[in-house]
């Protein structure tokens, strides 16, 4: 049952544009592009990794459609070059007209303001699960007061710097970088040099290629763990070839086809590059042919060896001399000079204990992601520092020590952010993308997956290469510049367009807190809660965020609360965690508690708008139950850019949906049959309007239908009775899925029941109820469900013409509807005639039982409830 709700009547509150319609088509046009090129659309979000970050265009549109309700509090300007503003000319009346025009069939009126510099007064929003801060960043661009919470210190720090970017002095930030560059760049880069294969000088190392090696357990032969011998695809004039490693002389040579037999151009060895020593989780010794599980061998041998076998280089000298591109940038085998350089780095590291305090010495804490999903311990990793080469640890320690000497605290923190972000690529847990000639991303699969032949990034970075500290700093600069004068990209007349810079910077009037949102004590304070809540079976952010956390806390410990632990919070996180024994039931309970806090924090006429990752009807039922239990009603749902074309097929499909909910009134009791008819009509009406007016896929339409049906249910949550029992939200969601997926329609029986519930039905009511259904007045008249000879009268069980119609069908063995059966049984029972024979002959289906329940509810005649019971059928 729902909690007691003390809210004003919802008829008194303003219906928000987002409840009336949402420009799905317009948003998806942008989302498809922004998702592929965030650095061009919103570089503020590429300053540092956070998981499952929602697109800025989605949250900007949510803000626009959820926060605009009072034209007197809205000002609109054309974005102006260099921040100057020219009057857009939209007064309160014009804005009110836009608000009034928004509709489910045509929501685009307000979209006119999407590329405008819109300011909204007297609004305060909350994001209790701010994560990477997208909602706060986008809301701050409207000038509203924004407050955010997150339990994870990494999320808090990332969002903090995003919101501070718009108030950061770019010159001071660049000066801080130059100070660090002058201090350590040359020292670091000296360890990333290699003899240029063109002779006489050194080239810059972009990447060092390593392979793990084990001893064969049978013969002791060294086994390099190569799945195949590809190094990289050919480039430039050799783009049709492949760079491969010869397993005999260990030269890097080019071949035409890495999957076919090839001949080494250096030693004439014949081999098939595709055939390495690893197949799945086992190796095969190239000497004796013995096969063995890799992780078993690692455990027995106390770890593995790493061998440097190749490098990718860039030579600025050759570039200056105009050499061909493949000579300027290419691949080469590792030479003695390269191995000796690494040993020099090892010697300096071992003789510099003062640097060791700038790398994490914590043990990797056990958990679901590292112990079960990808068991890194089985691969020999014990400490976070084990995920890096000695040379990387030396370079990163020097880098962090230098950053720690920066006096400008804000600039220092942005440099920490750049160093932290570079760790996605600077470690020995990434491999090389041989098809696209670039380094991989540690979190490309959002998990810890140790590679067999890792690639070592140049920590500082040369002219070429990605993921380096200097490259990440450039991304920080792009984000800061964007935050000062953000622009908006959109689609106009099928062409991409970009606005001039807005004068409203990012981050003004925003406050964030690190902590459990369940401790928020606000009451009746926020106009909107705009968020992206946790998903019960998704990534365990606390565990993957530890990778960044242990590095960030080296300089942040003692500066901010939360950076003094060995790991980020676990038990407090609202997520299922099999390793900690946190179940889906725990998640449901904690999510329920969270929505209670949100409900209390919202103003009486506030709105909750959030994105949710759909998986199946069970998760939707849990969500709807939690929302309704704490006093919300769902007023709309909308799909956002995702693959949802299979929605109506009933298959398990995952996609993102925007949920809109408002504080609910007290719920009215209703029978399931009555609610079902309301749901049918709502779905049918919604579908018809969308199909006639919108260019949406069937899946998209299904999601919008679902929201409208959820709204119908939300008004009666905890008060929906079927067969004498209250239905749960999960049960109703299953039924709603059936309505949407099967395209169920309303027929004559549904219309008849609606008429029964009316105190004084007439033909006009009949005509109205038949619209948009499969029922027609003519067909219902043929079925004797009403007559007009002496005024409008319904064909009830005691109507002679209706019973004669049914009797005739029974005698002639014609097909009977459930309504025919129910009324016929009711008539016979009333006249003391046996019903048992018919009950034994007919199928007493769930549909027939539900219909009898509906007839009893509609008429107050409880005989319908009892007539199917065995004790009566034996009369």
Q: Any idea how long the chain is?
A: 875
Contact predicate 378/293, CB 8 Å = no
**Stretch (H or E) spanning 770:** helix 763-770
pLDDT of residue 870: 45
> Which runs of consecutive H residues, i.e. helices, occur in 433-578?
469-484, 541-556
Alpha-carbon distance of 81 to 502, in angstroms, equals: 8
Phi, psi of 74 (to 5 degrees): -120, 135
Q: Which residues contact 647 (CB under 8 A, 6 or more apart)?
A: 653, 655, 698, 699, 702, 703, 740, 741
The number of beta carbons lying within 10 Å of the beta carbon of residue 205 is 23
**DSSP per-residue letters across 223-235:** EE--SS-EEEE--
* Residue 61, burial from CB neighbour count under 10 angstroms (0-12, 13-18, 19+): buried
Alpha-carbon distance of 745 to 774, in angstroms, equals: 6
Cα 506–Cα 509–Cα 515 angle in degrees, nearest 5: 100
**Stretch (H or E) spanning 193:** strand 193-195
Distance from the Cα of residue 482 to its chain's centroid = 24
Contact predicate 699/644, CB 8 Å = yes
* C-alpha distances in Å from residue 252, one per residue of 192, 266, 267, 382: 19, 9, 11, 33
Q: Which two tokens stand for residue 456?
A: 């070592």
CA neighbours within 13 Å on the CB side: how many for 309? 27
pLDDT of residue 83: 47
Query: What is the separation, in whole angstroms, between the first and last Cα of the chain?
Result: 38
Contact predicate 31/58, CB 8 Å = yes
pLDDT along the chain (875 residues), means of 10: 43 88 91 84 94 90 96 89 57 86 93 94 96 96 96 96 98 98 98 94 97 95 96 93 96 96 96 95 94 94 96 96 93 97 98 97 84 80 95 98 98 98 95 92 81 96 94 97 94 86 94 94 96 73 90 97 89 70 77 92 95 67 86 89 39 65 90 86 84 78 84 91 86 80 70 86 81 78 91 93 94 92 93 87 85 88 81 42
Q: Which two tokens stand for residue 555?
A: 């300089």
Phi, psi of 466 (to 5 degrees): -120, 160
Q: Calculate the CA dihedral of residues 545, 549, 550, 556 and round it to 10 degrees.
A: 180
Alpha-carbon distance of 842 to 134, in angstroms, equals: 60
Phi, psi of 87 (to 5 degrees): -65, 130
**DSSP per-residue letters across 93-156:** HHHHHHHHH--SS--GGGGGGTTSEEEE-S-EEEETT-TT-HHHHHHHTTT-EEEEEES-HHHH
Nearest in space to 396 (alpha carbons), one of 441, 440, 427, 431: 427
Alpha-carbon distance of 362 to 355, in angstroms, equals: 15
Alpha-carbon distance of 850 to 830, in angstroms, equals: 21
pLDDT of residue 741: 61
Query: In this structure, what DSSP letter does residue 697 have?
Result: -
Which residues are paired to 163 by β-bridges? none
Alpha-carbon distance of 273 to 60, in angstroms, equals: 50
* C-alpha distances in Å from residue 73, one per residue of 143, 529, 616: 11, 19, 40
Cα 848–Cα 852–Cα 854 angle in degrees, nearest 5: 115
Which residues are paired to 118 by β-bridges? 76
Q: Helix crossing, 617-629 with 698-714: angle to 10°? A: 30
Q: Which two tokens stand for residue 541?
A: 């952010």
**DSSP per-residue letters across 518-538:** GG----S-EEEEEE----TTS
Question: Which residue is listed with tokens 């530890």?
Answer: 546
Question: Which residue is listed with tokens 């540092």?
Answer: 48
Q: Which residues contact 398 (CB under 8 A, 6 or more apart)?
A: 184, 187, 188, 355, 358
Alpha-carbon distance of 852 to 823, in angstroms, equals: 9
The number of beta carbons lying within 10 Å of the beta carbon of residue 593 is 14
Strand 510-514 and strand 145-150: pairing?
A: parallel
Which residues are paired to 282 by β-bridges? 279, 293
């Amino acid at each position: 049952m729902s909690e007691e709700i003390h809210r004003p009547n919802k008829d008194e509150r303003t219906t928000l544009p987002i409840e009336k319609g949402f420009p799905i088509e317009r948003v998806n046009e942008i989302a498809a592009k922004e998702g592929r090129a965030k650095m061009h659309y919103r570089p503020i979000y590429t300053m540092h990794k956070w998981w499952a970050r929602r697109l800025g265009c989605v949250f900007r549109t949510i803000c626009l459609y959820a926060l605009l309700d009072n034209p007197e509090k809205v000002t609109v300007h054309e974005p102006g070059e260099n921040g100057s503003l020219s009057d857009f000319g939209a007064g309160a009346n014009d804005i009110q007209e836009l608000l009034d025009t928004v509709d489910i069939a045509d929501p685009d009126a307000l979209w006119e303001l999407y590329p405008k510099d819109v300011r909204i007064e007297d609004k305060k929003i909350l994001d209790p699960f701010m994560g990477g801060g997208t909602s706060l960043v986008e809301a701050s661009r409207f000038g509203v007061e924004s407050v955010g919470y997150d339990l994870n210190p990494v999320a808090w720090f990332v969002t903090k710097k995003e919101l501070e970017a718009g108030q950061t002095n770019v010159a001071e930030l660049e000066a801080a970088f130059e100070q660090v560059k002058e201090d350590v760049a040359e020292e670091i880069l000296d360890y990333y040099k290699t003899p240029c294969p063109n002779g006489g000088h050194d080239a810059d190392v972009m990447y060092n290629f390593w392979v793990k090696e084990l001893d064969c357990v049978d013969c002791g032969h060294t086994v390099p763990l190569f799945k195949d011998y590809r190094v990289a695809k050919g480039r430039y004039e050799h783009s049709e070839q492949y760079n491969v490693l010869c397993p005999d002389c260990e030269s890097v040579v080019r071949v035409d086809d890495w999957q076919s037999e090839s001949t080494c151009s250096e030693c004439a060895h014949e081999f098939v590059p595709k055939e390495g020593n690893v197949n799945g989780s086992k190796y095969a010794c190239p000497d004796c042919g013995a096969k063995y599980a890799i992780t078993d061998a690692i455990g027995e041998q106390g770890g593995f060896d790493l061998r440097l076998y190749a490098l990718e280089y860039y030579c600025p000298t050759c570039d200056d001399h105009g050499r061909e591109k493949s000579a300027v940038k290419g691949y080469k085998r590792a030479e003695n000079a390269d191995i000796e350089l690494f040993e020099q780095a090892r010697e300096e590291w071992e003789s510099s204990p003062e640097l060791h305090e700038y790398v994490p010495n914590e043990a990797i804490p056990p958990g679901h992601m590292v112990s079960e999903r990808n068991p890194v311990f089985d691969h020999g990793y014990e400490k976070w520092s084990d995920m890096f080469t000695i040379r990387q640890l030396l370079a990163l320690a020097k880098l962090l020590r230098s950053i720690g000497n920066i006096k400008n605290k804000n600039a220092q923190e942005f440099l920490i952010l750049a160093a932290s972000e570079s760790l996605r690529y600077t470690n020995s847990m990434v491999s090389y993308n041989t098809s696209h000639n670039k380094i991989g991303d540690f979190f490309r699969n959002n998990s810890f997956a140790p590679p067999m032949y890792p690639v070592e990034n140049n920590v500082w970075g040369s002219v070429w290469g990605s993921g380096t500290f200097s490259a990440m700093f450039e991304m920080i600069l792009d984000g800061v510049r964007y935050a000062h004068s953000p622009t908006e990209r959109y689609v106009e007349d099928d062409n991409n367009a970009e606005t001039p810079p807005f004068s409203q910077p990012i981050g003004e009037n925003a406050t964030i807190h690190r902590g459990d949102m369940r401790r928020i004590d606000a009451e009746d304070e926020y106009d909107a809660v705009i968020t992206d809540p946790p998903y019960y079976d998704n990534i365990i952010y606390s565990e993957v965020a530890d990778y960044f956390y242990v590095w960030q806390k080296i300089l942040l410990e003692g500066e901010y609360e939360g950076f003094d632990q060995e790991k980020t919070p676990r038990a407090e996180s609202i997520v299922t965690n099999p390793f900690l024994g946190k179940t889906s039931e725990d998640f449901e309970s904690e999510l329920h508690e969270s929505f209670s806090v949100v409900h209390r924090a919202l103003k009486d006429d506030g709105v909750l708008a959030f994105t949710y990752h759909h998986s199946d009807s069970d998760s939707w039922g849990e969500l709807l139950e939690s929302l309704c239990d704490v006093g919300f009603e769902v007023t709309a749902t909308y799909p956002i850019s995702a693959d949802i074309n299979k929605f109506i097929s009933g298959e398990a499909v995952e996609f993102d949906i925007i949920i809109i909910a408002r504080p609910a009134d007290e719920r009215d009791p209703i029978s399931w049959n009555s609610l079902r008819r309301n749901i049918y009509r709502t779905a049918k009406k919604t579908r018809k309007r969308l199909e006639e007016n919108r260019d949406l896929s069937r899946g998209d339409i299904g999601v919008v239908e679902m929201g409208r049906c959820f709204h119908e249910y939300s008004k009666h949550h905890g008060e929906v009775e079927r067969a004498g029992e209250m239905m749960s939200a999960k049960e109703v969601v299953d039924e709603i899925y059936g309505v949407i997926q099967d395209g169920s329609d309303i027929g004559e029986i549904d219309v008849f029941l609606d008429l029964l519930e009316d105190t004084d039905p007439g033909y006009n009511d009949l005509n109205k109820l038949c619209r948009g259904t499969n029922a027609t007045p003519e067909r219902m008249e043929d079925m004797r469900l009403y007559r007009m000879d002496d005024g409008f009268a319904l064909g009830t069980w005691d109507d002679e013409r209706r019973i004669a119609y049914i009797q005739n069908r029974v005698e002639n063995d014609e097909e009977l509807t459930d309504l025919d059966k129910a009324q016929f049984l009711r008539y016979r029972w009333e006249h003391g005639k046996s019903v048992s024979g018919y009950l034994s002959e007919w199928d007493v289906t769930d549909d027939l039982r539900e219909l009898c329940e509906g007839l009893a509810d509609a008429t107050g005649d409880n005989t319908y409830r009892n007539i199917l019971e065995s004790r009566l059928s034996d009369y």
